Amino acid sequence: MHETSIAAALLDQLLRIAAEHHATRIEQVEVRCGVMRQVVPEALQLAFEAASAGTPAAGAQLTIIEEGLVVRCRACRAEFASGLDDYRCPRCKTADVELIAGHDIILRSVVCQANTAGSDARGPDCL
Amino acid sequence: MKINVVESVLKANDAVARENRRRMDAAGVLAVNLMSAPGSGKTLLLEKTIPALAPDHRCAVLVGDLQTTRDAERLGGLATQVTQINTGTGCHLSATHVAQGLDSLDLQGVDFLFIENVGNMVCPAAFDLGEHRRAVLLSAPEGDDKVAKYPTLFQPADVILLTKLDLRGVLDYNRDRVYEDLSRINTRAPVIELSAKTGHGLERWFAWLRQERRQHSGGDSAPPRGRKDTAT
């Protein structure tokens, strides 16, 4: 259940971003989870719901998008999409790779309700 | 309003991990993260390893468990310093746990820091602790199918230890199946077959540790090779 730690880290990140943008409530969150991190979406949803209770992120809709694995062969430097169960290079046939994508958990976007009384609610990152 | 972000959720953990690695590099310590299922023999392996390295190397241990100080008590008389980290309900060590553990140790003069992670084949693999090498144990009683079942643990391993092989004769354990699965998951890491109980194979493990220590002292402080380098 490492989703509990991930949810706690995500909440810290969201609250910081909300404060930076003078937001009063977080409504939607999009996260891309690399398959290598083995996040169970339902477990992360549940952990986030529990962690965010009583905070400005309570009730936010969390969208989790799975990101596939891309690796690079350390011998021939070929990059290829890989499954979790087979990392063999199509050329070298060895399973000695570096991870290029699909190994991280990335916060991609946050939709929040701005404090309309704030004088600088729409920062440069706001769309 | 919509705010577009591209920021790792584990950025805070990774930053602490980088600082842990920097602290250990500064002190000349090689940190080895031992990961496996509960009961695969991590503590017994350390009980055999620390005295064997003792003539030339000083060892410290951070040992993670949900509850009890039993492992720290077992290792207390062997390592120069041991700190037990109780995670409560947490199923893995985080970089912050290790940072707090490092605060409790005097790293000067320490050659090896063994981080005995919480017994778990899923969660520990997702967290960089600031270690230099990852050792993954698989014991014979767990079965010969675990490499295929838990590939994310074995893929980034720098060394794979097949433990409790003294029990192989009484188990339906097919060693070839382990190697066959590893040929798809990780062909980089050396595989060391051993029994901490009988002593079989331990010399190879000690030799691997000494070699990695020499390599580290020579300036190679890179984190484990099979995964993302969070140091950059």
The predicted complex's ipTM stands at 0.85
Torsion angle of the four alpha carbons B95, B101, B102, B108, in this order, in degrees rounded to the nearest 10: -150
Contacts of A112 in chain B (CB under 8 A): 1, 3
Residue B118 lies in a domain: yes
Choose among A9, A96, A105: nearest Cβ to B188: A96
Does residue A89 lie within any of the structural domains? yes
A120 interfacial to chain B (CB closer than 8 Å)? no
CB contact under 8 A, A85 and B185: yes
Mean pLDDT over each residue of chain A, to the nearest integer: 90
Judging contacts by C-beta atoms under 8 Å, the chain B residues touching residue A21 are: 1, 3
CB–CB contact B2 A111 (8 Å) = yes
In the prediction, which pLDDT does A119 show? 44
Q: State whether the Cα torsion B127-B128-B131-B132 is positive or negative.
A: positive
Q: Where are the beta strands (DSSP E) in B9-95?
A: 30-35, 59-65, 81-86
Report the pLDDT value the prediction gives residue A2, as an integer from 0 to 100.
86
- Max Cα-Cα span within chain B: 65
Residue A121 has pLDDT above 80, yes or no: no
In a domain, B222, yes or no: no
Window 32-61 of A: residues touching B by CB (8 A cutoff) are 36-38
Lowest mean pLDDT among A94-98, A121-125, B210-214: A121-125
B213 to chain A, minimum CA–CA distance in Å?
22
Note whether B18 and B221 are within 8 A (CB): no
Does residue B151 belong to any structural domain of this protein? yes
Residue of A nearest to B182 (CA): A95
A127 lies in some domain: no
Does any CB of chain A come closer than 8 Å to the CB of residue B150? no
For residue A55, the enclosing domain spans 3-114
* Res. A118: pLDDT tops 60: no
Interatomic CA distance for residues A12 and B13, integer angstroms: 12
- For residue B121, what are the contacts with CB-CB under 8 A and spacing of at least 6? B35, B36, B37, B146, B149, B150, B153
* Inter-chain touch A95–B10, beta carbons under 8 Å: no
Is B232 among the domain residues? no
Residues comprising chain B, all counted: 232
Low-confidence ranges of chain B (pLDDT < 50): 229-232
Whether B1 is in a domain gets the answer no
- List the single residue in B2, B12, B227 with the smallest CB-CB distance to A9: B12
A19 contacts on B by Cβ (under 8 Å): none
Contact B10 A104 (CB under 8 A): yes
The answer to whether position B99 is within a domain reads yes
The residue type found at A62 is L
Query: B232 in contact with A at a CB cutoff of 8 Å?
Result: no
Residue A104 has a pLDDT of 93
Percent of chain A exceeding pLDDT 90 equals 84
CATH of the domain at B198: 3.40.50.300
Q: Does A24 touch chain B (CB under 8 A)?
A: no
- B91 touches A: beta carbon within 8 Å: yes
Does residue A56 lie in a domain region? yes
Count CB neighbours of A25 within 10 A.
16
Give how many domains chain B has, as a whole number.
Answer: 1
Task: Pull the structure tokens for residue A13.
Answer: 């990140």
**Residue A10 is assigned to a structural domain of this protein:** yes
Q: Work out the average pLDDT over A60-67.
A: 97
Q: Of A38, A105, A127, which is closest to B4 when you measure between CB atoms?
A: A127
Predicted local distance difference test score (pLDDT) of residue B227: 52
Q: What is the CATH number of the domain that holds A63?
A: 3.30.2320.80
| Distance (Å) of CA B190 to CA A86, B65, B159, B205, B209 | 18, 27, 5, 10, 12
Task: Quote the number of domains for chain A.
Answer: 1
- HSE of A34, CA atoms in CB hemisphere, 13 A: 23
Digit-coded pLDDT (tens) for A28-52: 999 999 999 989 999 999 999 999 9
At B222 the pLDDT is 59
> Does some domain include residue A53?
yes
Round to whole Å and give the CA distance between B75 and B189.
27
Q: Does B2 touch chain A (CB under 8 A)?
A: yes
- Closest CA relative to residue A44, chosen from A111, A105, A109, A112: A105
Examine residue B165 and state whether it is found in any structural domain, yes or no.
yes
- Can you give the residue range of the structural domain that contains B152? 11-215
Q: If we measure between CA atoms, which residue out of B114, B177, B113 comes closest to residue B142?
A: B177
Position A66 in a domain: yes
> Is A82 domain-assigned?
yes
CA–CA min distance B119, chain A (Å)? 13
Q: Tell me, yes or no, if B88 comes closer than 8 A to chain A by beta carbon.
A: no
Q: How confident is the model at residue A123, as a pLDDT?
A: 42
Q: How confident is the model at residue A100 (pLDDT cuts 50, 70, 90)?
A: very high
Contact present, B81 and B93 (Cβ < 8 Å): no
- CA B172/CA B167 separation, integer angstroms: 10
Model confidence at A64: pLDDT above 60 = yes
Is A106 within 8 Å of B7 when comparing Cβ atoms? yes
